Structure 1
């Protein structure tokens, strides 16, 4: 989707809404694939949570974050993420929020039923800034939207201001791989345009898989290819189990014994709580911060991932230290590198 497509979508929504105020959405439905990421973004706006009446099921295997922080969320109606327009209509929504990838499937039938929609991309940092601003307009809380965007942008800028000064020889070779366990364990890499690639490059690394995956999804790579890349750092993603186990399996695999990353003990499991921090969820900023501190610890000795994580959950979701320790801390796993 083009860079400013969401601005067009917002204008389209304004035209469809007519005289109805932007803050008048009292019945919101979150649907389609990646509903958990949409919910995490909507919950950045405190008043919105009271208006969600239905939610497409979404759980990658480590739990559902929103049910943990909002006891009333379980009273919402849950429905299949592949549901058709008639299911959405049954909830009598004022607004349906979907990922932009669902537009080709649902826009026409929802339009035909007179149901208002908001499509969000939420795939890169820039799209997050744009989409959160759009959400603020649609939900009638532009100030909160601007505050959230500012928080994200300032934390990203603090890191990029340092890594942007690095020369090519100062940027280590980095592999980010997802473990796939359908039968024998295999390893997959993301496309160039995905946030995992963007985070590695902005954190001051060279994404060794760049140009190796021209597709639109995760691509399996061979052991020979990984050996040829010979990365300095390896970061392992697992959406369903503790990523530290996947990192340990990678380190102990004799076929990788000659890799620089294995020899220098630089193979790490990507941090997780309810969701992994590598993906285009609101947690991307935590994953980005952690990556930067792992790849360039000397540049970011003044940045604490633990404190940034506490600040994130406090500012974004209103969790104080007690709530953080009760709800979030027990879920945090992966190779953080510092005590929480």
Structure 2
């Protein structure tokens, strides 16, 4: 997992900040088991990183102050007008973190929310930021399996309990349905999969990586399932030795060239035409970032890996997901673009 920005902590230690008192109307236990005081008024929420921003948008878009990075035009097309184009805030955690405490305070948030690791490093960061700013800082468990409970926690924090339950219920139903069908598939019938990132396809997620959680959920055999976590660079020779049956990629350049690249010609997935480009509008279906956007990707992957067990219409599922979670119903032409994996 990416490390929190030490500059944020150091800036906070060196700054003289008059921290407003936290309202003590009620408390909620967050994903790390911390008791978080709910402010009497929650109207402005600062997302610490992209996963939190996406989950908050799907639940309570009006409360979202902005985005860790500006959304591109092709992404904003699938988001609510006036919300998808809200300003860039920077980020507190993760790669490219840029928001120090002074920057956070300038936005006057009532609440800070992060979604991801709930390990000690992130708990300590949350405690420091909360102590130095007086703004409640909630950590949501970013693991795929924890998405429903994270919605319920966020619903209690924001007063959007009913909608949080609807979103959590959709996720739980999808996971239970898919898990039940996967259980009936013998292990030897589950394909080996390589997750390819980057224009050369040589970055992948190791066994413990959050980036490949949905593949693990589906019982696929990740060929890079080896000790470690996170993303790793591998060689083409290693991929040839693994010889996966299926390749899933998020990179358009790789997807367009791998079939004609002689170096990849010996890989079973290439020979069988089983190289699949993941949809990514407005957010990636496998990861990038690893948030609730992976829920529709779970159905997509299930149909790719086990077509006989999943006869559902992915277009209908995508339309339903977009309408419920992103609150914008895509047209047929937009669905074509989404499912093609292009911008």
- Return the TM-score normalized by structure 1: 0.79
The equivalent position to 1:252 in structure 2, one of 257, 260, 268, is 260
For structure 2, the residue ranges without an aligned partner over 5 or more in a row are 2-28, 92-97
Matched with 1:172 is 191
In structure 2, the residue matched to 1:227 is 240
Match of 2:114 in 1: 98
Go from structure 1 to structure 2 and tell me whether the alpha carbon gap of 1:221 and 1:164 turns closer, same or farther (over 3 Å shift): same
* Contact 1:232-1:260 within 8 A present in 2 as well: yes
The offset of 1:147, in angstroms, is 1.3
Determine the structure 1 residue equivalent to 2:295.
285
Among residues 141, 146, 151, which one is paired with 1:132 in the alignment? 151
Deviation at 1:5, TM superposition (A): 6.3
* Matches of 2:149 and 2:84, distance apart in 1: 30
> Which SS does the other structure have where 1:131 is aligned?
helix
CA distance in 2, matches of 1:113, 1:335: 41
Q: Which residue of 1 aligns with 2:65?
A: 53
> SS where residue 6 of structure 1 aligns?
coil
2:36 to 6, 13, 20: 13
- 2:257 and 2:54 map into 1 onto residues whose CA distance is 31
Match of residue 269, structure 2, among 235, 255, 261: 261
CA contact (8 A) 1:58 1:64 kept: no
The Cα shift of 1:96 comes to: 1.6
Partners of 2:205 and 2:310 in 1: CA distance: 26
Determine if the alignment matches structure 1 residue 332 to structure 2 residue 335.
no
Q: CA deviation at 1:98?
A: 2.4
Query: 1:297 aligned to 282, 291, 307, which one?
Result: 307
Q: State how 1:125-164 maps to structure 2 within 5 Å.
A: 126-164=145-183
Give unpaired runs (5+ residues) of structure 1. none
Answer yes or no: is 1:210 the counterpart of 2:225.
yes
Counterpart in the other structure of 1:40 = 54
Contact 2:78 2:282 in 1 (8 A): no
Aligned partners of 1:74, 1:307: CA distance in 2, in Å?
Answer: 23
Question: C-alpha deviations, 1:295-324, integer Å up to 9, x for none?
Answer: 1111112x111110001011223324xxx1
Q: Is the 8 A contact 2:80 2:327 kept in 1?
A: no
How many residues end up aligned between the 2 structures? 303
Q: CA deviation at 1:77?
A: 4.3
Shift of 1:194: 3.0
Instruction: Give yes or no for contact 1:227–1:256 (8 Å, CA) kept in 2.
Output: yes
Alpha carbons of structure 1 residues 62 and 38: separation in structure 2 relative to 1, 3 Å: farther
**Aligned 8 A contact 1:186 1:220 in 2:** no
Counterpart of 1:276 (choices 280, 284, 287) is 284
Aligned mates of 2:127, 2:299 — CA distance in 1: 36
CA positional deviation for 1:58: 4.8
CA distance in 2, matches of 1:224, 1:112: 50
Contact 2:75–2:281 (Cα < 8 Å) also in 1 = no
Deviations 1:173-222 (A, max 9, x none): 1111112x4xxx351111323344332233242111111x514x310111
Structure-2 change in CA distance of 1:56 and 1:107 (3 Å): farther
Match of 1:89 in 2: 105
Name the structure 2 match of 1:116. 136
SS at match of 2:109: coil
SS at 2:155 equivalent? helix
Report the Cα distance in structure 1 between the residues aligned to 2:211 and 2:163, rounded to whole angstroms: 27
| Coordinate RMSD, CA, aligned | 2.7
TM-score of the aligned structures, taking structure 2 as reference length:
0.79
